[in-house]
Structure 1
């Protein structure tokens, strides 16, 4: 089976019933706690474009579109189950005119072909890096799509260095059940990617290392 199709099918199996019974977002709010700080820090320019890679149920796109009403948003995901949920959420929020969705593999995604644009003022990923096997390649390619002055914001699980050892071990075990792998070298990779495009990076550690936010800025 093609790797893209296989990974998409895996994500559909993992989240199909969670999203259909409506408890995906209800439960995730208790531990995907870097999402809202990341969205608050986006601050895209008025009239700009923003892209979410791995948009899931559309929760972040709805929040971001409401927070930044003068910005157009695009979202892609490899799971058709999640895209169905995102489409419904965006329709309920009355945001169809400003938020566009597409099925895509983050590794091979071509925004010019999919959306008619080849650059973005903001690109963001919320707890998607930990679920994408080729995450380094995804970050590298996405950073190349940043417009001058553009930024890429990544919210993720951190190394949890400040948590009690038993809590950290239990959390890592639970994440493995859902095919989630925290990336201990995320900040190092982001720094390398930023330097490759002549930009800078910023590392933010939150909640005793439970959450990380990585920002890549293109000058």
Structure 2
């Protein structure tokens, strides 16, 4: 069931921002194209982006991997309006909560070969539940890809303070414990984890693979 309070907050946040979202976020949501370049879905594979926003990433995936089936989930109807206008029939979109969506009800399929979180875990209140739920929707040998704000440990202290203060205005909380959480998940579920810092620890990119 969709968290109505969070859905309302996201709709309020992006009701007008969605019109300028892609132009403004290009300057600080770094690493999204790195994720897409390394996505490598199987032929005819199903790709789901959780918290797909305006559909920017799905549009780029459609161009790079034209034979994939694309799906997008977002809690905000406002963002889905932008994504629908951008993607048309190229992707199947649905409103839902990242922590408890039903893929069959939302999309008519049970599992996905690739699942993406792109700068979304830092905005999902129960982000660890969202990770667990996403892993349940992966096919055997499926891969979960994510890019988000990093631990920032290589950035100057003043840069960290300014960045995190500014992000808080948009309900964004970098998940500094993400590497440890992913390592624990990989161990508990027998997954392969690949992880790397990007841009001097500004961002982090990770891939969890079912083996």
- TM category (shorter chain) comes to over 0.9
1:208 corresponds, among 187, 191, 200, to 200
TM-score, structure 2 normalization: 0.97
Q: Which residue of 1 aligns with 2:11?
A: 12
Give the 5 Å matches for 1:76-91: 76-91=73-88
1:149 offset after TM fit, Å? 1.1
Q: Which residue of 2 aligns with 1:43?
A: 40
4+ runs of 1 displaced by more than 6 Å?
none
Distance of 1:146 and 1:100 partners within structure 2: 17
Distance of 2:109 and 2:188 partners within structure 1: 22
Query: Greater shift after overlay, 78-87 or 160-169?
Result: 160-169
Q: Would you say how many aligned residue pairs link Structure 1 and Structure 2? A: 211
Q: Are the counterparts in 1 of residues 112 and 138 from structure 2 also a CA contact under 8 Å?
A: yes
Distance of 2:94 and 2:198 partners within structure 1: 31
Distance of 2:2 and 2:47 partners within structure 1: 27
1:3 offset after TM fit, Å? 7.3
Q: Are 2:22 and 1:25 equivalent residues in the alignment? A: yes
Q: Are 2:164 and 1:172 equivalent residues in the alignment? A: yes
Structure 1 pair 62–3 and aligned structure 2 pair: CA distance change class (3 A): closer
1:197 offset after TM fit, Å? 2.6
Q: Which residue of 1 aligns with 2:66?
A: 69
2:109 corresponds, among 80, 96, 117, to 117
Q: Are the counterparts in 1 of residues 146 and 207 from structure 2 also a CA contact under 8 Å?
A: yes
Distance of 2:46 and 2:52 partners within structure 1: 15
Structure 2 unmatched runs, 5+: none
1:194 offset after TM fit, Å? 2.2
Distance of 1:134 and 1:217 partners within structure 2: 22
Q: Are the counterparts in 1 of residues 43 and 67 from structure 2 also a CA contact under 8 Å?
A: yes
TM-score, structure 1 normalization: 0.93
After superposition, give the CA deviation of every residue in 1:145-197 in whole Å (9 maximum; x if it has no partner): 11111100011001111111111110000000111000011111112222333
Structure 1 unmatched runs, 5+: none
Give the 5 Å matches for 1:179-198: 179-198=171-190
Distance of 1:15 and 1:114 partners within structure 2: 22
CA RMSD of aligned residues (A): 1.2
Distance of 1:123 and 1:171 partners within structure 2: 27
Q: Which residue of 2 aligns with 1:155?
A: 147
